[in-house]
Structure 1
Amino acid sequence: MVVCGDDGLAHRLAAELRGVYGEQVTLVVPADRRRVRQPVVGRARAVSAAFLDRMVNAARGNGEGSGAERVVEAVEPTEAVLAEAGVDRATALALVYDDDETNIRAALTARRLNPHLRLVLRLYNRRLGQHIEELLDQAAALATGASPDTSSDASTVVLSDADTAAPALAATALAGTSKVVQTEGLMLRAVERRPPRPGQVADPGLATLALLSATSNDPAGADGSESDGEHGPRLLPDAAAVREATGRGTIVLEQVSYAGAPSVPASGLTGVPPLGSLFSRRLRWSLAGVAGCVLALAIALTVLTGDHPLHATYVTLLDLFAINEPALNQSTGRQILQLLAGLLGLLLLPVLLAAALEAFGAFRSASGLRKPPRGLGGHVVLLGLGKIGARVLIRLRELNIPVVCVEADPEARGLAVARRLRVPVVLGDVTQEGVLEAAKVHRAHALLALTSVDTTNLEAALYARSVRADLRVVLRLYDDDFATAVYRTLRAAHPHALTRSRSVTHLAAPAFAGAMFGRQILGAIPVERRVLLFAALEVAGHPQLEGRTVGEAFRAGSWRVLALDTRAGTEDAPGAGLVWELPEGYVLGPGDRVILAATRRGFAELLGRRSRDAAQRP
């Protein structure tokens, strides 16, 4: 496996492939890691640095022929760099640079070097990603002589860390929000449920995916982690564990179906305000009064002269704009009507000027950044409008959640999204006094600190706590040890406040790692600080599934079959090809395709990578 990147996702992905799947990894990173990597703290930085140093020492000590663990230092993945990394002999290549153009250029080069290579690209532009995926798959099919319609070992998967993490981050900020995984038309919805009251029977839904930690519903409790033991979250528990777990919340699967693309509210997407907002009520009444006066003069002229109403209206408008002949030799009534029309024309000029100025101001406000309204409350304060923040903002607006954004960079890419959605934005450094107050944080429901700097997120959270002690806070923190220290400190200082932490790379790395083995990974949802994967697998070739019943194939804590997919090769209507209430005695045959939930290590065991690696060692 070859991983190329310039930030924390590359290191997290390399560690995932080595530690979970037992794969041989070549990591391509820039030489000056301190300059290109985003700042991280704590154990994650030490582990990543130790992993990289170990690979550097192995490569330099063993020479080019070792190929077991090595690193290639390069600023850009040129053809020479990819050849040195062994792309022509690799099984899969992950291109996770922060720049879309760099990933596309390297993917085109890699596909030429190795048509059988499985490519995984990190692209922020989703529409471009679809076209690139089709182009690279077609190029591989032509180079290998395979039909583009048939599956082959060469495949291209385009993923976005922002799209992977955005639903989880948005759901964490809103109590009771569903966790949704939606990929390639398949939608899986999981809901977090509170512990049942005494005497109340819990609804298991379609399947119980996880038992939350004993302190997950306690504001003072810490978020569960990998090392929490029995007190932490338990993924894919069996029926006995669910019955014995009292006072613990659960995550249950409510829906597995095929659906279309997520809908976005139509309001606020055009950037053009509605017609009623262009003019004030007073100005609209003034225009209506002028129109009424013109109509009255036209009727009076029709009655006085006997002209046709349309001709009378035309003559009145000519008098109104002072472009008609003076009524010198006409009747007194006609002269009076002409004078009244001229006077009305003089009154119309300031009204038209006011209308033009108000319309210009409305369009300018629509194309600019809005300010938070005075009476705003119950909203979400979103800090940071980078790639992640922009996707989270879109997700929150899809849920019709009021949002106020705070961004220090006036050139941030998410500002265009906020302007298009007409979301209020406060420009300024969140660490400066008065910025959070301008975002109405004292009346907010939650604070989402999603900047790329851990210390900035922490400082903003602490300052928000000083303004409002019970504010719900979600921090984007990279390191688990640092997050644990934050929890303990905030728990002692604010025992009744909810604070949670999510890592974008922690959410995205399992999906990228699974994609390097094929198109099996559908998505991932966070369970506190752990990750549960959803995958689609062919039963053939997996002895843990083939020939076994659904009950026998279930392994608690590792994987669980959720549904049988019968849509392969058919054109059924959406939702018609999934059987998700399989009987325990149904035997999985080699021709079946199943959808399952799995832990990271459980999925690695299903793929047989860890056992194969162990068998090859002496």
Structure 2
Amino acid sequence: MVVCGDDGLAHRLSAELRGVYGEQVVLVVPPNARTARRPVVGRPRSAPAALFDRVVSVAVGRGGPVPGGDSAATSQRPGGERVLEAEFLTEQVLAEAGVERAAALALVYEDDETNIRAALTARRLNPRLRLVLRLYNRRLGQHIEELLDQAAVLVGESEESVRDAATSVLSDADTAAPALAATAVAGTGKVIQAEGLLLRAVERAAPPAGGPAPPGLCTLALLSSDRDDEGPVLLPDDEEVRRAGGRSRVMLERFSAAEGAAAGNGLGVGGVPPLSSLFSKQLRWSLAVLAGCVIALAVALSIVTGIHPVRAFYFTLLDLFAIDDPALGEPLGRQILQLLSGLVGLLLLPVLLAAVLEGLGTFRTQSALRKPPRGLGGHVVLLGLGKIGTRVLIRLRELHVPVVCVEGNPEARGLAVARRLRVPVVIGDVTQEGVLEAAKIHRAHALLAVTSADTTNLEAVLYARGVRPDLRAVLRLYDDDFATAVYRTLRVAHPLATTRSRSVSHLSAPAFAGAMLGRRVLGAVPVERRVLVFASVDVANRPQLEGRTLASAFAPGVWRALAVEGAPDTPPDRLLTKEDRVVIAATRRGLAELG
């Protein structure tokens, strides 16, 4: 196995393959590999043209090595991991890493172009190589498998010879964003979708003593107790669940396709804004009061003069716009109503002018960032609009959750998405006083800190807890030991508040590792700092599954069969046959044991 990358995901994936699956791994990283490096580019050209030239050059075998980037320093780590340090991922570096003999190659650089260029080179070196790519661009990812197959044909390999070489395109942002969003919003969960089946993992509070158990198919995990440092229990059996007492738990629920479609409905990408966003609340109330006055005057005119209500309404509008004749010689009531109608008409003029100005201002600011409105409350404050933050923002808006974003970089990639979704954004350094206050943190439901800097996320949470001690906080932390210490300290300091920490690489690594081994990983559900992996496996040639009922296909703490693909209402006593394909929940080691 060969893993190439320039950030924490590469190290986490390498450790996953070695520690869980027992694979031999060659890790290719830049010098000082914890920092992302900009890929080498040629002469200044437009990005699409440059990318197209590189793709064609590599596909037909004309891509030469990049000057100055061929050398690689090799070292051996104590765990048996071979590490190559190379500034740039060239053909020579890939050959030195053993791509020509490798079973699988993972390209997990942060830059999409670097991964595509290296994938085409690797496919030419070894057409039978299983490729796993990390791509942020979804549209490009949909076509990359076909592109790589075409590249194999161009270098002289037949389609039959490369049929077994699978290409998987994954995104760490897409893998982690649903879990991060679900953690910030109580009552939502990670959705696992398989053929004809929709499952959802939801965190539930502990049931009252003697009360009924929370609804769901089964208990996936028992969360840590607030009274001690006991860690979570994954895939407990019924006896452990009964002894759990007041511990919260992660439940597995089945829901319908209609619910899934409703949860996935986005809020659109712009267009004509709704009426409520065109005009302010004060202006809408003013228009409503004036409309009520007009109706009252029309009714009064109909009563005083005895004319038909429609004609009375017509005469009232004429008086309102001062285009009716004076009511000379008319009864006193008619004259008074005409004067009142004229007065209402005078009051209507500034209101109409304000409506026009507000409407024009709203359309003019469609391309500008919105500020948090007055009176906003119960929202989620999202800190960071990078790759992860952008995907989390989209997921939160799909759940119809109000969001206020905080971003320090005025050129962050997520600002365009926030502008399109009309999400309020505060531009500023979160470590500076007043920035979180501008995001209405004192009235927020939760804080979701997902910047790439652990210290920034921690500082934001600590500052927010100083403003509001009971605030629900979710922070992105890479280091497990550091995250454990932070969690325990915050739990003691703020026992009434919910604190969760998540690592994007920790959530994504099982999916990438499963793809490298040819497994079909459906998703990963975080349980504090541990992960449950959902996968689809064949029953054939697996004695742990074949010939057993769905309910008995269960190894507590290791893996559990949940359902049969294509049969959403499978009874627990259904006997599994070798033709079946089942959805399982497993720990990382449990997935390795199933093979």
Query: Which interval holds the TM-score relative to the shorter structure?
Result: 0.7 to 0.9
Segment drifting more, 240-249 vs 376-385: 240-249
**How far off is 1:36 after superposition?**
3.1
Structure 1 residues 474 and 203: alpha-carbon distance in aligned structure 2, compared to 1, 3 A threshold: closer
Quickly say closer, same or farther: Cα 1:461–1:605, change in 2 above 3 A: same
Partner of 1:462: 462
CA deviation profile, 1:208-246 (whole Å, cap 9, x unmatched): 22222223xx7xx76xxxxxxxx3211112222223332
Q: Distance in 1 between matches of 2:209 and 2:279?
A: 58
1:332 paired residue number: none
Residue 187 (structure 1) aligned to one of 190, 198, 204: 198
The answer (yes or no) to whether the contact 1:562–1:580 under 8 Å persists in 2 is no
* Structure 2 residues not aligned, in runs of 5+: 39-72, 292-349
Determine the structure 1 residue equivalent to 2:165.
154
Rate the CA distance shift 1:208–1:354 in 2: closer, same or farther, 3 A: closer
Cα deviation, 1:438-482, whole Å, max 9, x if unaligned, reads 111111111111111111111111111111111111111111211
State how far apart, in whole Å, the 2-side matches of 1:470 and 1:86 are. 53
1:104 & 1:395 partners in 2: Cα distance? 27
Alignment RMSD (CA, Å) = 3.4
Compared CA separation, residues 15 and 432, structure 1 to 2 (3 A): same
SS at 2:526 equivalent: strand
Structure 2 CA distance for aligned equivalents of residues 213 and 495 of structure 1: 13
Conserved in 1, the CA contact under 8 Å of 2:558 and 2:587? yes
Question: Hey, what does 1:121 align to over in structure 2?
Answer: 133
C-alpha distance in 1 between matches for 2:93 and 2:241: 51
When residues 431 and 506 of structure 1 are mapped into structure 2, their CA distance, relative to the original with a 3 A threshold, is: same
Please show how residues 399-548 of structure 1 align to structure 2 within 5 Å.
399-548=399-548
Instruction: Give the letter aligned to residue 571 of structure 2.
Output: E
Comparing 353-362 with 2-11, greater Cα deviation is found at 353-362
1:591 positional shift: 2.1
Q: Does structure 1 residue 581 correspond to structure 2 residue 574?
A: no
TM-score, L = length of structure 1 = 0.74
Q: 2-side partners of 1:531 and 1:276: how far apart?
A: 42
Contact 1:116 1:140 in 2 (8 A): no
Letter in 1 for 2:432: Q
Report the residue type matching 1:603 in the other structure: L
Cα displacement (A) at 1:410: 0.4
The one of 566, 591, 594 equivalent to 2:582 is 594
Provide TM-score, normalisation by structure 2.
Answer: 0.76
Q: Give the aligned residue type for 1:160.
A: S
Aligned partners of 1:6, 1:29: CA distance in 2, in Å? 6
The separation in 1 between residues aligned to 2:587 and 2:512, in whole angstroms, is 14
- 1:529 deviates by 1.4
CA separation of 1:564 and 1:5: change in aligned 2, threshold 3 A: same
Q: What residue number does 2:561 align with?
A: 561
- Name the CA shift for 1:555/1:488 in 2 (closer, same or farther; >3 Å): closer
Distance in 1 of aligned mates of 2:150 and 2:220: 38
| CA displacement at 1:494 relative to structure 2 | 2.7
8 Å CA contact 1:271, 1:419 repeated in 2: no
Task: Report 1 or 2 for greater relative contact order, CA contacts < 8 Å, sequence distance ≥ 6.
Answer: 1
Cα shift at 1:359: 4.9
Q: 1:269 to 1:263 in 2, by over 3 A?
A: farther
CA deviation string 1:291-346 (max 9, x = no partner): xxxxxxxxxxxxxxxxxxxxxxxxxxxxxxxxxxxxxxxxxxxxxxxxxxxxxxxx
Q: CA deviation at 1:9?
A: 0.4
**How far apart are the structure 2 equivalents of 1:552 and 1:152?**
36
Per mean C-alpha deviation after superposition, the further-off stretch among 137-146 and 422-431 is 137-146
Structure 1: runs of 5 or more not aligned: 39-54, 62-66, 223-230, 290-349, 567-576, 608-618
1:36-76 alpha-carbon deviations (Å, 9 max, x no partner): 389xxxxxxxxxxxxxxxx95428x9xxxxx9631222233
Q: Kindly state the Cα deviation for residue 358 of structure 1 after the two structures are TM-superposed.
A: 4.9
Change (3 A) 1:266 1:503: closer
Which residue pairs with 1:242 in the alignment? 241
8 A Cα contact 1:564 1:582, kept in partner? no
Structure 1 residue 164: Cα displacement: 1.1
- Answer yes or no: is the 8 Å Cα contact 1:457–1:476 preserved in 2: yes
Deviation at 1:35, TM superposition (A): 4.2
- Tell me, in whole angstroms, the C-alpha distance in 2 between the residues paired with 1:26 and 1:421: 43
SS in 2 for 1:110: helix
**Number of aligned positions between the proteins:** 501
Q: Distance in 1 between matches of 2:420 and 2:198?
A: 27
The change in CA–CA distance for 1:373 and 1:277 in structure 2 (over 3 A counts) is: closer
Aligned-partner Cα distance in 2 for 1:105–1:489: 45
